[in-house]
Amino acid sequence: MIFYRQNLTDSQLLDLYKKILKPRMIEEKMLILIRQGKVSKWFSGIGQEAISVGITAALNEFEYILPMHRNLGVFTARNIPLHRLFSQWQGKESGFTKGRDRSFHFGTQKYNIIGMISHLGPQLGIADGIALANNLKKNNKVTAVFTGEGATSEGDFHEALNIAAVWKLPVMFVIENNGYGLSTPTNEQYACENLADKGIGYGIESWIIDGNNIVEIFNKTTELKADMQKNPRPVLLEFKTFRMRGHEEASGTKYVPEELQKLWAVKDPVDNFRMFLLNEGVLQEDYDAELREQIKQEIEDNLLLSNAEPEIIPTYSGELDDVYKPFNYEEIKSESSSENIRFIDAISTSLKQSMERHQNLVLMGQDIAEYGGAFKITEGFVDLFGKDRIRNTPICESAVVSAAMGLSINGYKAIVEMQFADFVSTGFNPIVNLLAKSHYRWGENADVVVRMPCGGGTQAGPFHSQTNEAWFTKTPGLKVVYPAFPYDAKGLLNTAINDPNPVLFFEHKQLYRSIYQDVPTDYYTIPFGKAALIKEGSAVTIIAFGAPVHWALETLAKNPEIDADLIDLRTLQPLDTETIFASVKKTGKAIIYQEDTMFGGIASDISALIMENCFEYLDAPVKRVASLDTPIPFTKALEDQFLAKNRFEEVLLELISY
């Protein structure tokens, strides 16, 4: 292995040596602790430390870096106290996840490190969002994100590269090609000769670098960083390296041919760099021994600190209180005159006024810029706020949601418009596994709203008509809002944008242009978790949200003799159980009305809650009315039969006469 030091001073070379030696010695200690049963799991980076250390050394401490689960050198090169890392791996309180996640599945804003989730790909999109925020701030910073050769097959990899190329984002996409995705060799992972070739299709500059040569890595990434600051753009870096241990320690390396292990053993990045420094006279044997003893003692001292820390004592409040970032709701009441507007106008006005109120708010979605979106909600916004903040996106929902998370991490608010709620399925993973879990896992909130045009009644068929709120109401960490009236739509969307937690905001598209209401012209907010009592009565409680609120009103208008409480939930998570229970205890009968299909819908949970909390007040079984348990069809006759609308009156009358 040849090291070209170029302009590196002796001091710089020694600094790199210290940085690469420390993670190697920590790993060697971890292997001992694993055999002793003191660490439960370990993802070894032995053999590929040069990449983590070289890139981290090339970036400054204020630039974000997004590592993987075998990039210990990133964390140590950023000088994170070792006892905190040890406590993280042992599930102690002073770790970064309070025992809620293991290994390197965490981030820390203090050190500008954003860790992975096990699904790998979403962090590439996060890097896009972080870099976009840097571009908007014009702060000249570069972001580096790591992935393995196996994850380059994931759709998120390709989506993130495409977004970065189109938006000219200064991201270093770092591929650690260590030959195996767990046990699957590269010839079963991809057919191109080099993974760097994948950059060509996206118009991205690509480089192949010796992943075991720390000097080459540091020099090349330092050079690239300087050029990316002058000419912002993404680069794809493929580092050829090898993982000397198993995917994780328990899996072993029996699947690796012995000759391959021997070939890469002689390319050890630490040993070879050490010999180079000795030969150059930069490092002396006695100083090397002294340095190793210092690191060894640092490891032992910090292990003592971590071992002395007590085990976590779980509490219900401790767990539940960390699911969401605390939100200090600010009630803003309107003092303006009102204007009779449509539901769609209320959404548009909320977005416009929120863009004015929050200068760090960015809207992203397909066709939302000059075209104004599929429903023309953002028409004219580019003229008002510019294309930096009103951003057309490629058709890649997963990476866009992840980029929204990156914007949030780097100080922005983000709204993602799903062209139709149905399309959220291709962005499902980062919503339920990234946005929803980040605050609980390591205290990082996701200041993201996902707008969801949804619902049937327009003969749009199976892929443009779903109302899929139940996919998200059961996911801790998400808030779910579903207004039925223009007034509520505007006030609740304002609150959703203010809330630092991820919010799924459902907008029934059949209501967009059919429902009018007097709505204040200025800005106001409505709190989450407060249902609206639309009508009051004593015979039955009707619980609905979205379009079924209007369908219920039609039924009650047709049957004026029915004396009913009609509750419009408005928000599904949090759910206003207080209003529900008070009404049911008054009327003794409850019917829950949803447009979603029956099985697994939120009506089932509300029914169970009523049974558990109001059983002794009930005079009849709790009833649910929902759409058929089929995909939603296109033809009008079939759609009419599918929707819950045509069955509600019959079930309601049966319940009243029970």
**Positions marked active-site:** 464
- Residue of 489, 446, 484 whose CA lies nearest to 467: 484
* Residue 503: HSE in the Cβ half-sphere, 13 Å Cα cutoff: 28
- The answer to whether 546 and 506 have CB atoms below 8 angstroms apart is yes
- The answer to whether 398 and 429 have CB atoms below 8 angstroms apart is yes
DSSP 84-130: HHHHHHTT-TTSSSTTSS-TT---BGGGTB----TT-THHHHHHHHH
Q: Which amino acid is at 348?
A: S
In eight-state DSSP terms, residue 625 is E
Rg (CA), the chain: 28
- How far apart CA 599 and CA 422 sit, in angstroms, is 18
What three-state secondary structure class fits 54? helix
Residue 495: phi, psi to the nearest 5?
A: -65, -40
Three-state secondary structure string covering 210-279: ECCCHHHHHHHHHHHHHHHHHCCCCEEEEEECCCCCCCCHHHCCCCCCHHHHHHHHCCCHHHHHHHHHHH
- The answer to whether 161 and 133 have CB atoms below 8 angstroms apart is no
Q: If you count them, how many residues does the chain have?
A: 658
Report the first-to-last Cα separation within the chain, whole angstroms.
Answer: 85
Cα distances (angstroms) measured from residue 64 to each of 71, 110, 112, 144: 14, 10, 5, 7
The b-or-e profile of 147-165 (16+ CB within 10 A means b, else e) is bbbbbbebebbbbbbbbbb
- How far apart CA 367 and CA 376 sit, in angstroms, is 9
The b-or-e profile of 533-562 (16+ CB within 10 A means b, else e) is ebeebebbbbbbbbbbbbbbbebbeeeeeb
- Peptide bond before residue 394 is cis, with ω within 30 degrees of 0: no
Please classify residue 514 by burial: count the beta carbons closer than 10 Å to its beta carbon, then call 0-12 exposed, 13-18 middle and 19+ buried.
Answer: middle
State the CB neighbour count (10 A cutoff) for residue 70. 28
Q: Which amino acid is at 520?
A: P
- Residue of 457, 410, 334, 520 whose CA lies nearest to 127: 410
- Residue of 358, 357, 323 whose CA lies nearest to 446: 323
- CA 311 to chain CA centroid, Å, is 29
Q: Which two tokens stand for residue 126?
A: 């996060």
- The answer to whether 71 and 104 have CB atoms below 8 angstroms apart is yes
State the CB neighbour count (10 A cutoff) for residue 657. 7
